[in-house]
Amino acid sequence: MVAQPEIRIAPDREALALLAAEEFAARAEQAIAARGAFAVALSGGSTPKELYTLLASDEQPFRRRIAWPQVHFFWGDERHVPPDDPQSNYRMTLEAMLSKLPIAAENVHRILAEKSDAAEAASAYEQTLRDDFHLSLGELPRFDLVLLGLGPEGHTASLFPGNSVARDASRLVAAPWVEKLNSFRITLTPAVINHAARVAFLVGGADKAEIVAEIVRGPYRPDELPAQCVRPELTSVVWLLDRGAASKLA
């Protein structure tokens, strides 16, 4: 039986970023205390950017709470662009957070999306996961935390309606063609996301209220609403929402 989602609601966007930062810091502290390392898969988007800015701020406690040299950064998905492209999730994260923290270069495991072939970039990132998590054949990496956003049509990471990746159980990383964007994306597959110790959606804004309600309360239609594929094996998924995004939840 799939566990019921855990829903936490903040009064506004600023409070949402604080709520997400507390979740990030708590998971980091727990993992570092247990194993000496914290592995997180990051999300792109404007709401996560607010979280990253907060984590790196000298005016907040999170920067001091987290043992940053023990944090390993990965990405849940990436656009098929070079790392200096304005659309790059890596570039956004670098500018908002990574460049401002004491992080070793070898702890930043970005997707090499500048490769001309997106499938080659996906294959290379799958090998990165296998190497960094010391995986045997058939094993899945276990992230301590996977951060996810939510698109207006129900996509998350780069799992979009109409592509087969949402049902892919054979790969760790895929490079689907996204028709509505007329481009390839590189993304973790649901098998990897669902094997994480903690999965958190971070969603802000009243414009996301309808789709949040469909994903959380509606019938299971993963081909049309790929975010519904996120059903973690070890825990319930946590939804971190502001009041606007949560406004259609009964």
pLDDT digits (tens, 9 = 90+) for 189-222: 999 999 999 999 999 999 999 999 999 999 999 9
Please report whether residue 234 resides in a domain: yes
Please report whether residue 184 resides in a domain: yes
Query: What is the 8-class DSSP label of residue 196?
Result: S
Query: Are residues 65 and 55 in contact, defined by beta-carbon separation less than 8 angstroms?
Result: no
Model confidence over 2-53: pLDDT tens digits?
778 999 999 999 999 999 999 999 999 999 999 999 999 999 999 999 999 9
* pLDDT beyond 80 at 168: no
**CA–CA separation, 170 and 246 (whole Å):** 34
Please report whether residue 76 resides in a domain: yes
Q: What is the mean pLDDT of residues 127-149?
A: 97
Percent of the chain with pLDDT over 70: 99
pLDDT at residue number 162: 84
Please report whether residue 54 resides in a domain: yes
| CATH code of the domain in which 236 resides | 3.40.50.1360
Model confidence over 225-248: pLDDT tens digits?
999 999 998 788 999 999 999 999
pLDDT at residue number 247: 97
Q: What is the mean pLDDT of residues 130-155?
A: 96
**CA–CA separation, 175 and 27 (whole Å):** 29
Residue 52 C-alpha from the chain's centroid: 12
Q: What is the mean pLDDT of residues 115-140?
A: 96
**Mean pLDDT (the chain, rounded):** 95
**CA–CA separation, 43 and 20 (whole Å):** 12
Structure tokens of 128? 């990165």
Query: What is the 8-class DSSP label of residue 91?
Result: H
Please report whether residue 235 resides in a domain: yes
pLDDT at residue number 149: 97
**CA–CA separation, 226 and 50 (whole Å):** 24
pLDDT at residue number 114: 97
**CA–CA separation, 212 and 228 (whole Å):** 10
Model confidence over 66-78: pLDDT tens digits?
999 999 999 999 9
Query: Are residues 178 and 217 in contact, defined by beta-carbon separation less than 8 angstroms?
Result: no
Please report whether residue 105 resides in a domain: yes
Per the structure, the complete domain to which residue 12 belongs is given by 6-242
pLDDT at residue number 169: 76
* pLDDT beyond 70 at 173: yes
Burial class (CB within 10 angstroms; exposed 0-12, middle 13-18, buried 19+) of 150: buried
**CA–CA separation, 123 and 130 (whole Å):** 11
Of 73-87, 118-132, 169-183, the one with minimum mean pLDDT is 169-183
Please report whether residue 223 resides in a domain: yes
Instruction: Give residue 1's pLDDT band: very low, low, confident or very high (50, 70, 90).
Output: low
Number of folded domains that form the chain: 1
